[in-house]
Amino acid sequence: MQFKELPAQLVAAKPILEKINEAGFEAYFVGGCVRDMILGEELHDVDIASSAYPEEIKEIFEKTVDTGIQHGTVMVLDHGEGYEITTFRTESTYTDFRRPDSVTFVRSLSEDLKRRDFTINAFALDADGTVIDLFNGLDDLEKKQIRAVGKAKERFTEDALRMMRALRFAAKLDFSIEEATLEALAELAPNLEKIAVERIQVEFEKMLMGQAAGRSLMTMVEVGLLPYFPGKTGRIKASHLLALANYLEKKQPQNFAEVWTLYLATAGLGADELQQELRTWKLSREIMSTVNRLAPTIEKVDDLSVWDLYQINDLSETFLSVLAIIGVDESVRLSIAEQFKALPIHSTKELAVSGGALIQAGIAQPGPALGKILSDIEHAVVNGQVENEKSVLFDFAKGK
């Protein structure tokens, strides 16, 4: 297969390949950027592999940065852009199920491509637009399936995270997982425990945002991967994943806040269990705060007060999106959205009076009593008991 026209990102990087070729070495676009080009998808990263060793790349180009020299990666700076060039390599055993114990630089493209995870990620593209497909990845794209390069058991033993990547790509592309690859995933599922939580988190987030996230969740349950997931075994039930799978058939989360609110705030966990799960996943403080604040509200979505909505109004977009995913009736969501809009204030900063104003007017003195008065004012304004006007609030405070 040959492409006469390349995407703009590859056209911009093409002179890098040509300059390496002119120096007597081979250079190709590789991996996901080639796959996405074939599928007509938007390109994100542009990856380049070459037969030139790192020191040789540094001799060819004037401006380079050693971004991963131990793994054969050098960044070439060209016209304000940075392109990472990685030398063809082979990898040794993976005693930690994560990283190769050592890498060896080679001159052979085929040796480099055979170490990659899946056939649809093992393409190379030369400067003339010719696709090099050594493992029938084009057939797998046609069949819409994820298949490991070589023996799936070997690929998953080398790096157990590849099992999550299989599920993630299946979700992203709406592909099935080829039978032998699926069997290896089920057999080696326990190896996932050896992978850092942070690495699993990245793949899981991308998986749940994929168009076929529901099917990947069902696959997780079917192959027995859930018991080896981060978190206490049994805390997240298979029934929860299957329920989410049904929801995700129609709509998927669009950002990380929605991902974790959907996954954890709807799991029926107690407050302590929710905290433990959030900590286990090592999520950011912002995400943890979002899930903690929205979980109680989601649990009582049919019995929400104005005060409940006021407390989460800054998270209204995430809240409404998750409600849509889990199938809350549109009329209910529209009513909640209108209530958000109708809130008289959205934070204490919008109150017409402040603690300082109350003290200056001689209505209150500094101390706990002042805090209680301000809290009463906030509740009264939010609940529509008094108008948010200075004179009205002064009169209200005098009555406390």
CA atoms of 301 and 327, how far apart (whole Å): 12
Q: Taking a C-beta distance cutoff of 8 angstroms, is the pair 386, 396 a contact? A: yes
pTM: 0.90
Report the alpha-carbon distance of residue 277 to residue 291 in Å, rounded.
Answer: 11
Token pair for 219: 């696959």
Q: Which pLDDT value is given to residue 93?
A: 59
pLDDT of residue 90: 86
The model's pLDDT over 142-189, given as tens digits with 9 standing for 90+, comes to 999 999 999 999 999 999 999 999 999 999 999 999 999 999 999 999
Q: What is the pLDDT of residues 41-75, one digit of tens each?
A: 999 889 999 999 999 999 999 999 998 888 899 99
Q: Which two tokens stand for residue 374?
A: 């301000």
Amino acid at 47: D
Q: What is the pLDDT of residues 205-230, one digit of tens each?
A: 999 999 999 999 999 999 999 999 99
On the 0-12 / 13-18 / 19+ scale of CB atoms within 10 A, 80 is exposed
- Point out the least confidently predicted range of 24-33, 99-108, 232-241: 99-108
What is the rounded average pLDDT of the residues 20-40?
96
Adjacency order of strands within the sheet including 73-78 = 64-68, 73-78, 81-87, 47-50, 27-30, 124-125, 131-132
How far out from the chain centre does Cα 171 lie? 12
Query: Do residues 91 and 154 lie in contact, with contact meaning Cβ atoms separated by under 8 Å?
Result: no
Q: Are 164 and 193 in contact (CB under 8 A)?
A: no
Determine contact, residues 351/384, Cβ cutoff 8 Å. no
Q: Which residues contact 372 (CB under 8 A, 6 or more apart)?
A: 400
- Residue 248's pLDDT band, with cuts at 50, 70 and 90, is very high
Q: Are 240 and 268 in contact (CB under 8 A)?
A: yes
- 3-state secondary structure (DSSP) of residue 82: strand
Place of tokens 């669009």: 254
3-state secondary structure of 137: helix
> One-letter amino acid identity for 205?
E
Q: Can you read off the two tokens belonging to residue 190?
A: 């326990």
Give tens-digit pLDDT for 83-94: 999 999 987 555
Q: Is the pLDDT of residue 299 over 60?
A: yes
**Whether residue 121 has pLDDT greater than 70:** yes
DSSP 185: H
CB 167 within 8 A of CB 216: yes
DSSP category for residue 130: B
Q: Tell me the HSE value of 127 on the side-chain side, using a 13 A CA sphere.
A: 15
73: three-class secondary structure by DSSP: strand
How far does Cα 388 stand from its chain's mean position?
Answer: 41
Confidence of residue 95 (pLDDT cuts 50, 70, 90): low
